[in-house]
A and B are shown apart, each in its own frame.
Chain A
Amino acid sequence: MPELKFSEAQEMLRKVVREFVEKEVVPIAHRIDVENECPVDVFKKMGTLGFAGVFVPQEYGGAGMGLTERAIILEEISRHAAGFAMILMTHHLGVEAILSYGTEEQKRKYLPDLASGRKIGGLAVTEPSGGSDVGGQQTSAEFKDGRWVLNGRKCFITNSSNADVTVVTARTGEDAKGRPAFGAFILEAGTPGFAPGREENKFGLRGSGTGDLLLNDCEVGEEALLGAQGNGAKLALATIAKVGRTGMSAISVGILRGCLEEGVKFAKERILYGKPIAKLQAIQLEIAQNRVDYEAARLLTYQAIGLKESGANCDAEIAAAKYFSTEAAVRSAKRTIDLMGGYGVMNDYPVGRYLRDAMATIPSGGTSHVMQLVIAGQTLA
């Protein structure tokens, strides 16, 4: 297998994003966490540079790059502010759903604003009955007099109160075999009967507002249906696998790099017994483990994304990347806190936030249990 090597353009992209993050995101990373507020102005600035539409073709106002470039962006932002990266990650879910399933008219209507960051996107699937149990969704969409009427409650929806355009799945009836059938709908903020509900108070990935979306006799025209009627569950699962899980994996790689770099910095600066603790073998072992976790997560993540971009069927590889990277990020953050001793639990250092953020990456896009089931299912098939 050839080495993981990025192209000249991808390396330039990484450099450009890093410069942007260091100037615009690092100074507010702590504040985003403390205030749990989405810095919309910085998001819009990212939009003008193409981050919001990185994988959207240029004909729809995007940058015309791919999922690898998107992962580079998410990794670089998450190196310092995973909560902020989560806003972009979730925005891309809505973008991907419209890009892959939208009609030409829908793409022309929504993608230019989403790709340029003028509008924020989202995807709403999870309900109180569960997230992974897509078939158990209760939100309904009834077709009456040429209009769809939606009722129900979505929960744990990231960007719930910030998104201008959200793709919402709902039960539209039953298929020929009597099983529940679902549709996906493009809903714009401000549509009567569609509003954000209560906002959750997460301990990690803060800044990316997560909460309920309420649908009370929300009426939209036929043109709001995204993809074929009955295709909503497939759309949701495919979008979550392709963009959601790869995105969470890339975010975790960023957190892992943060742990590695912060650990190294601390180990070189902290003097104990008259020398930097980096000279102590016990600390060196921790640094080595952080390095291995980071490298392994990075390889799994970019390989899975590369496979997806090549058109391969790689749900198991994506699940493996997501499972390993998110769990490794938790391990690595805990390990970094350990090596820092008392300083590790002080909020003057960012590693406590990294641990909280890493924990929050696990349920998003499917828990580690679900990821293992996907991996096992494919392995045993």
Chain B
Amino acid sequence: MEIAVLLKPVPDPAQYDKIQIDPATGILVREGLKTVINPEDKHALEAALQLKEQYGGRVALIGMAPASAVETFREGLAMGAEEAFLCSDRAFAGADSLATSRVLAAAVKKAGPFDLVLSGSTSADGGTAHVPSQVGELLGFAHLTHVIQFEIGSDGLASVRTKMENGYRESRGRLPLVLGIRRELNTPRYISLMGIMAAQGKPVHVWSLDDLGLDKGKVGLAGSPTQPGKLYQPDMKRKGEVLQGEAWEVAQRLVGIFRSTGILG
């Protein structure tokens, strides 16, 4: 089975206090931030590796990131993927989820064909959860997100359970598919030392805009139909106020405060 795993380097949660947002563009400043594999993408990779162990084939990592993120892809290779395709070009900077999906879909087509495209449902930084579905649409593959369980039979028929607000939904479909994986699906394996050694010799292909043959106006900030709105720092200051008077009177004033601040409807 040929499987592509969409892998996104995201800022290390341990360094969230160092995250800054460019006030001019409203976009995360990624330079200088240590990155890790997006946590849900690790679950997607684990699912891919388990399928490879079951059916054979290969697992390829595909992602869009600055070239400095190559270490994050190397980590995915150490986990067990065979090769990585890193889409990296100045023109990709500032992409929203659709512009990102165009790049990823083009890379999946170029590196493919694949039977299955897996990714985390949601990224820990942007958190739009748009990408798996958008990539599916662009590829013309059926797609499901928030996958908490799935099986692929030897006949290529997939049974997929997706999480919904108050329950879950069972779906069945034929490959090729794009699935957005949630963390409930599995427990990612530890990377072994042998995996780290093997990863040093595995290929990381870096693809530019030209390599993917994409229109410059369809990628990056220029190709993004959504733009971040106004950014502001919420006022987290607390102010204490002592209410004095008779109990009944204080209680009424308190209820009034609760109503005015929306705590009580």
Contacts and interface: CB of A to CB of B under 8 A. Distances in A.
Contacts of B75: 12, 15
Contacts of B128: none
A12 B78 contact: yes
Interface stretch (A44-52, A159-167, A193-201): A44-52
Interface string B16-59: 00000000000000000000000000000000000000000000
Contact of B192 (A11, A49, A69): A49
A19 B199 CA distance: 18
Given A8-B74, A9-B200, A16 B191 contact: yes
Contacts of A58: 194, 197
A16 B195 CA distance: 11
B232 interface: no
Nearest to A52: B193
A266 interface: no
B190 A13 contact: no
Nearest to A7: B200
A18 to B, nearest CB: 10
Contacts, number: 46
Contacts of A12: 71, 74-75, 78, 191, 196, 199
Interface string A11-28: 111011001100000000
A136 interface: no
B193 A49 contact: yes
A63 B78 contact: no
A69 B190 contact: no
A367 B192 CA distance: 35
A181 interface: no
Nearest to A15: B75
A54 B196 CA distance: 11
Contacts of A11: 71
Given A8-B71, A8-B74, A13 B194 contact: no
Given A8-B71, A8-B74, A49-B190, A16 B196 contact: yes
B193 A65 contact: yes
Interface string A366-380: 000000000000000
B193 A63 contact: yes
Contacts of B199: 9, 12
Contacts of B197: 9, 58, 63-65
B200 A63 contact: no
A63 B199 CA distance: 12
Nearest to B70: A8
Interface in B170-220: 190-194, 196-197, 199-200
Contacts of A69: 193
Nearest to A69: B193
A49 B193 CA distance: 6
B74 A54 contact: no
A37 B194 CA distance: 29
Interface in B198-255: 199-200
Given A8-B71, A8-B74, A12-B71, A63 B194 contact: yes
A15 B36 CA distance: 10
9 contacts: A9-B196, A9-B200, A11-B71, A12-B191, A12-B199, A13-B196, A50-B194, A63-B192, A63-B197
Interface of B: 71, 74-75, 78, 190-194, 196-197, 199-200
Interface of A: 8-9, 11-13, 15-16, 19-20, 48-51, 54, 58, 63-65, 69
Closest 4 CB pairs of A and B: A50-B193, A63-B193, A49-B192, A16-B191
